[in-house]
Amino acid sequence: MKYTLLILTLITHMLYANETDDSLIIKEPFNAELFDITQDYDRSISTVGFSTKHKKQYSSSEPYSDAFDYLQSVSSSHGVQMHLVKVDDSTNISLSKNVNLPKFSKAVSVLKTPSNGYFIGGYTLDGSLLFLKLDANANIMFSKSYGTKNQNKLTSLTLLNDGGVLAVGYSTTSRFKHDNIFEMGLGKNDIYLTRFSKNGNKIWSKKYGTQEDDKGVDAIQAEDGSIIAVSTTTKGNRTLIDLMRLSENGDKIWMKNYNAIAQTDNKIIPHRLIKLKDNNFLLLLSQFNEMNQEHIRLVKFDINQNILIDKEIFTTYPSALNDIKQFSDGTFIAVGYVRDAYNTDGLAMSLDSNLVQLNQEHYGGENYDAFSSLAILHNSQVAVAGSHTDENSQESNMWIVKLNKDASSAKKASSTSSLYQKLVSIFKEEIITSKLIINEDLSIELIDKSLYFSVAKHKLSEQQKLFLDTFTKKLIPLLYKYKETIVALEINGHTSSEWKDSDFSSTYLKNSKLSLNRAYATLSYIFNSQSSPTQEWLTKMLKGSALSYSKKVLYNDVENREKSRRVSFKIYTKE
């Protein structure tokens, strides 16, 4: 198998990354994995899963007289907890936090809220379903535990057109008369769907299925508001795939068995259901042949149950895809895993609009590696979440990888490129309103008329001071975040080229002094506006520079004297 990511170089005792490939392995003391991933509104990436944590044990005043009592007390002291990780454009961790709940739990799905927070879906290890809302810093805004009295498991969350959420999963048949859904379940396991409002209020919960073992897998909302869901029914050793269309209130419109359509008795497992750009749907499946070898199957269908494309993808080694997304041009990227006799690797695959494979890449080391989920980013790169296991290890680690559109490995962005993107992002409003221009060399030009200096003047106007207040509140915290990379912030004073009744030498020297005074006035105002700790840091990287009229503003080779009377900024990095 081809390994396009090398085993990654150790950065800290918990963090691994390759110097060129944009990949991050996060090591926790015990097992940890990531299951779902999304991009935040500030272009950072957030992903959820679990890490294994311990609860503090309190010594009992009474010694244990029974070894089994002692073992039970120890076993309840550790387990998995929901874990959220947030990384910046350079795949550096900006937030890594356990969502500590009273019971051990796993997060399996994450959605963005309008306020840049999160809806998270998961389940507790003792069988309750969980629906949480977190703010942008992963603080719990609300946490709802629900489900039947027996074992329940959540498989996915789907964002609905009204801002609410549909939770998909399954529930062991209820045997308790006080359950508010059914006194008896439909079978061994039942498909279990719950609709929440955008405020987290439960609108309805419903069960579906047969007298056999039924499990809800995934769902998506159609353009008309109805819901398309995929589930499985297990009869003995045979697994059947059911497609179901529901009204917004959860009432069944139609249900169709895919195996009958495909005319196959081979084992099939559904992984993901997505809505396409043309408002049709794509179902991602694993199918097993007579030798029980796994390969990929993709089914495109419309809202009226018509199968539009049914395609099998055969690979050299047994393979499966866990997630798939469509680009704006209609092509696809998908991720999963590929197995040979020795190990398992993460699998990434690109496909054209007709689901024909274009490229595939394998990622990982000498042990078990797999991809669980992906998110297409604003720049058409792809963020992938999964798990990585070190060679000769039995414990999994959280894994984040960035890929290109063709499924190849993305290269880590330079700190200069990343900083440029951040500057453009935080000064988006000032750029749109023509207050300033940011160049890729990290120079910043002020272009608003109110920010220029008067002839022969260097004192700041009130408008200039107000602008600098807003400007530095955005700039200084960002520079501090990149402090290990930044060498200097230079403030350059400029002048126009004239000076009344002066010869060439006097004009140059007077303008040199004036430009230095403009730089100093700006530097001192910025410096004095900061707190003492920030001032101490600024002394190491802030400097003023006098450029006189060496960089005049020209239009068609003619100097614009008004616009030449200015200050500009330049950020210098180690690269």
| Angle between helix 415-426 and helix 462-481 axes, rounded to 10 deg | 140
Burial 43-56 (b: 16+ CB within 10 A, else e): bbbbbbbbbbbeee
pLDDT-derived band at 237, boundaries 50, 70, 90: confident
Using DSSP, state whether 26 is helix, strand or coil: strand
Going 534 to 539 to 540 to 544, the CA torsion angle's sign is positive
**243-247, 366-370, 553-557: least confidently modelled range:** 553-557
Whether the per-residue pLDDT at 30 is higher than 70: the answer is yes
- Return the CATH number of the domain spanning residue range 147-314: 2.120.10.10
Phi, psi of 50 (to 5 degrees): -150, 155
Whether the per-residue pLDDT at 8 is higher than 50: the answer is no
Whether the per-residue pLDDT at 365 is higher than 60: the answer is yes
pLDDT-derived band at 341, boundaries 50, 70, 90: confident
Q: What is the pLDDT of residue 446?
A: 94
Contact (Cβ atoms closer than 8 angstroms) between residue 497 and residue 542: no
Strand order across the 15-17 sheet = 9-10, 15-17, 23-26, 396-403, 382-389, 369-376
Tell me the C-alpha distance between 105 and 26, whole Å: 19
Average pLDDT over residues 386-404: 93
Average pLDDT over residues 24-31: 89
Using DSSP, state whether 281 is helix, strand or coil: strand
Q: What is the pLDDT of residue 333?
A: 98
Q: What is the pLDDT of residue 174?
A: 63
Residues 6+ apart with CB under 8 A from 124: 101, 103, 104, 105, 130, 145
Closest C-alpha among 203, 282, 201 to residue 248? 203
More confident residue, 374 or 562: 374
Beta bridge partners of 396: 389
pLDDT-derived band at 17, boundaries 50, 70, 90: very low
Q: What is the pLDDT of residue 20?
A: 59
Average pLDDT over residues 399-426: 86
Q: DSSP string covering 422-478, please?
A: HHHHHTHHHHHTTSEEE-TTSEEEE--GGGSPPTT--SPPHHHHHHHHHHHHHHHHH
Mean pLDDT of the chain: 87
Tell me the C-alpha distance between 458 and 514, whole Å: 7
Q: DSSP string covering 233-248, please?
A: EEETTEEEEEEEEE-T
Tokens linked to 257: 């068995």
Q: What is the pLDDT of residue 23?
A: 87
Cα atoms in the 13 Å half-sphere on the side-chain side of 336: 27
Beta bridge partners of 456: none
Whether the per-residue pLDDT at 47 is higher than 70: the answer is yes
Tell me the C-alpha distance between 439 and 416, whole Å: 11
| Angle between helix 504-528 and helix 462-481 axes, rounded to 10 deg | 70
Closest C-alpha among 29, 16, 26 to residue 48? 26
Whether the per-residue pLDDT at 383 is higher than 90: the answer is yes
pLDDT-derived band at 72, boundaries 50, 70, 90: very low
The pLDDT tens digits for 161-193 are 999 999 999 998 765 556 565 555 666 899 999
Whether the per-residue pLDDT at 357 is higher than 80: the answer is yes
**59-68, 307-316, 473-482: least confidently modelled range:** 59-68
pLDDT-derived band at 2, boundaries 50, 70, 90: very low
- Residue 505 CA to chain centroid, in angstroms? 59
What residues does each domain of the chain span?
1-55+79-144+366-410, 147-314, 416-573
Q: What is the pLDDT of residue 133?
A: 96
| Beta pairing class for 542-546 and 486-493 | parallel
Closest C-alpha among 45, 22, 18, 92 to residue 377? 45
- Candidate CATH numbers 3.40.190.10, 3.40.50.300, 3.40.50.10150, 3.30.1330.60; the one for domain 416-573: 3.30.1330.60
Q: Which amino acid is at 49?
A: G
Q: What is the pLDDT of residue 354?
A: 96
First to last CA, the chain: 36
Average pLDDT over residues 342-364: 95
pLDDT-derived band at 230, boundaries 50, 70, 90: very high
Cα atoms in the 13 Å half-sphere on the side-chain side of 529: 17
Beta bridge partners of 66: none
**29-33, 250-254, 571-575: least confidently modelled range:** 571-575
Q: What is the pLDDT of residue 491?
A: 95
Whether the per-residue pLDDT at 243 is higher than 50: the answer is yes
Q: Which amino acid is at 480?
A: Y
Whether the per-residue pLDDT at 14 is higher than 70: the answer is no
More confident residue, 15 or 514: 514
The pLDDT tens digits for 76-121 are 556 789 999 999 877 888 899 988 888 889 999 999 999 999 999 9
Q: DSSP string covering 445-459, please?
A: EE--GGGSPPTT--S
Tell me the C-alpha distance between 373 and 337, whole Å: 11
Phi, psi of 221 (to 5 degrees): -95, 135
Q: What is the pLDDT of residue 192?
A: 95
Contact (Cβ atoms closer than 8 angstroms) between residue 45 and residue 104: no
User: In 6-117, where do the E strands start and end?
Assistant: 9-10, 15-17, 23-26, 32-39, 45-54, 78-87, 93-98, 105-112
The pLDDT tens digits for 416-471 are 777 888 899 899 999 999 999 999 889 999 999 999 999 989 999 999 999 999 99
Q: What is the pLDDT of residue 48?
A: 96
